[in-house]
A and B are shown apart, each in its own frame.
Chain A
């Protein structure tokens, strides 16, 4: 169950940075990672990710579950890549098979074969590194990004007052939505509802979610109407608004932005010149 934002004020470099600088870094990192399939380059990004995580000053107690989820998901994804060789065709034409295993059965005349090749191992490794990099950087956000700063961040990135505040408000509703969902789940379980029980086809499965989704959606709509009234009553949207919290770029923020764009430019250049494509020893 979500019990509010995971964010806590911490005296770390990461949380002292201007949110805009952090966003710039986040997106530059994201696009840079997307450009490479070379496991050696990706290992470099992984090292950078680990440095950033260390800088975040999070304890295992706070974040352990999130990390396990990320690792579990990416490992599964990596294994699928390893065994099926999916997406591999666009990177290599020939495979150096190390081991091959034939299933002792046939399914509709087809005999499953699982073969492990050097190419598949390296593809799986780079797939794993890419997903871990991106997931880990994303997981950091709710823990280290002050939710009270979302609105002003969007405002200073150039969005109009109303839209920036609407995004801020969305952030405020994430934990409420989580709680509504948990309460609805409990209330329906008490009526013998079991999500795990499978019955019916695809349509049946969707219908089975109605007892969960309908109350949560109705709640959001009603909440939305009430919040609109509350905001109207407090003069929202009548004139240009002040934002109590302001953002100011410090020299370190300029440095981070400069480094981020350098990283992106170097990555793009290298990628255009043909470096960092899929690699096997």
Chain B
């Protein structure tokens, strides 16, 4: 008995193109299935068809084909019955938690089924024990970390004792350590007899738990269905983030000798001769009467710096960087912006030097058109209309959306909104660009393309052109993003800067990685094993080209 999808096709209401084309697949108990594919490939639609949201909540679409859930036709079942066969953890745990308290959240589905209180209580205990979250019982859901929220959301689904669980991008908001924990739980559940289906484009992480079954989707079709090894052979390394050795093997096997995609810019050390744009001097910070959450932060940002700020969720990365724009004010020490004490500057004044892009584009987009959205910032800081118009043109080309000026920002895809949110800061022509988690919510192919563009606009020269900035800082919990793009890494743990230096210098230090809670990735391992000491780290495709040259010479 398993989940059998046969010849499933679907088109959403008022959409002409099909979201799914003739999809067939089987998901079996005791197996972890990985469904991989880029944004818009139909992964989420497939999940909605299996759990019955299509057609029961999303009405009016065109659906054909059949889904059997453990021997029962899902089109004949009510959502309440399906929910006891198939549990779904939606993308973004924050957005599916309904209760104010952890016990209430785990109980929610059981309360809806009308179970007796005693039964509900015993299931809460049992599920919490299964996921090792007993200490969270009784806590407020609002105050949990992202990793904890993910587990509580999962507990709420598991408590209903489904025979299969579907997870839509469970790793999206988690740091590598919490992601790894979540995945280990998935493995345990599968081994205990549940069918586990994980939709994820961070496939390298999922491969760690050895999925028995892999499906690769593209444009609403199943391209591959088989084991993990076959998936790695079938997948395009430009579309999906594969383990570094696989990329190296593939790039080497490719006939064409096209140059590797991206060549990183300056080395970090080159910037020392410039005057700092931002300077933190022994900065400490606390919220109101709370404990100090940032301790003694000292560093300078100079032209030419491309800094990745890494560290686990909740380490204080955002708290640290909000000082650079004056949204946090040091409770100890000081921050200099352009050699002026930030205490004497308003956020609006600092915004002329430092452009800060928040993690979530939906927290800032508001205007009816992209053009108005992009002119909001420069208008606020008093740029003249001619300059604003010119800045809009280059900002849109910088984020590869040149023809979008008259579109409505809120109608764009998430990835496009993210780009517009960056463009709306670029139009203010800042000297330093700061981005908080620039890649979340986007698939590998789109964020690679976009980061290539953004990083290539760091220009440390004296004659800074419009559309270029002198330094770039980004927060990420993706170590590979730092290895690929940054010439300097700042690691933050528990509000303390534990390391600051070139990736090739600090990431070779095993003890430091341990202390920073950084999990070594296959890209890091490939770099350290293939490159000599002191050589600039690079992306896997470049490594392939590099080592090919070395091989040829030898």
Expressed in whole angstroms, the Cα–Cα distance for A216 and B121 within the complex equals 36
* In the complex, chain B residues whose CB is within 8 Å of the CB of A244: 103-104, 107, 110-111, 117, 120-121
Residue of A nearest to B360 (CB): A183
Given the complex of chains A and B, what is the CA–CA distance between A235 and B140 in angstroms? Answer: 23
**Is the beta-carbon distance between B83 and A233 smaller than 8 angstroms?**
yes
**Known A-B contacts A61-B289, A244-B111; A190 and B358 likewise in contact (beta carbons under 8 Å):** yes
Q: Quick one: which of B354-412 are within 8 Å of A by CB?
A: 355-356, 358, 360, 362-366, 376-377, 380-381, 410
Pairwise interchain contact A187-B363, C-beta atoms closer than 8 A: yes
Interface string of A144-176 (1 = CB under 8 A from B): 000110100000000000000000110110011
Task: Name the one of B56, B100, B113, B117 contacting A147, with C-beta atoms under 8 angstroms.
Answer: B100
Q: Give every chain B residue within 8 A of A193 (Cβ-Cβ).
A: 348, 376, 380
Instruction: A243 to B424: give the CA distance in the assembly, Å.
Output: 47
Known: A4-B142, A186-B327, A186-B358. A218 touches B377 (CB 8 A): no
Distance from B177 Cβ to chain A, minimum over Cβ atoms (Å): 24
Q: Are B80 and A239 in contact (CB under 8 A)?
A: yes
Q: Which of B78-103 contact A (CB under 8 A)?
A: 78-80, 83-84, 87-88, 90, 92, 95-101, 103
The residue of chain A having its C-beta at the shortest distance from the C-beta of B91 within the complex is A226
Given A241-B114, A244-B103, A246-B117, CB of A175 within 8 Å of CB of B364: no
Known: A5-B140, A194-B380. A234 touches B156 (CB 8 A): yes
What's the Cα separation between A159 and B112 when bound, in Å? 16
Main secondary structure of the interface of A (DSSP, over half): helix
Complex contacts, B217 vs chain A, CB 8 Å:
none
CA distance A217 to B471 in the complex (A): 34
- Check if B112 sits within 8 Å of A237, measured CB to CB: yes
For B109, list chain A residues within 8 Å (CB).
234-235
Q: Which residues of the partner chain A approach B100 to less than 8 Å between Cβ atoms?
A: 5, 147-148, 150, 168, 171-172
Which of these, B79, B120, B348, contacts A189 with CB under 8 Å?
Answer: B348
A194-B346 contact in complex given A5-B140, A184-B364, A242-B120, C-beta closer than 8 Å:
yes
In the bound complex, CA of A6 to CA of B98 (Å)? 19
Contact of B53 among A147, A188, A233, A241 (CB under 8 A): A233
> Once the chains are docked, how many angstroms separate the CA of A243 from the CA of B104?
9
Contacts A234-B83, A234-B160, A236-B112 known; 15 new A-B pairs at CB < 8 A: A5-B142, A148-B104, A186-B322, A190-B358, A214-B366, A223-B95, A230-B95, A231-B98, A232-B56, A233-B53, A233-B79, A234-B109, A236-B108, A240-B114, A241-B113
Which A residues form the contact surface with B (CB < 8 A)?
1, 3-5, 61, 147-148, 150, 168-169, 171-172, 175-176, 180, 183-184, 186-194, 210-211, 213-215, 218-219, 222-223, 226-246
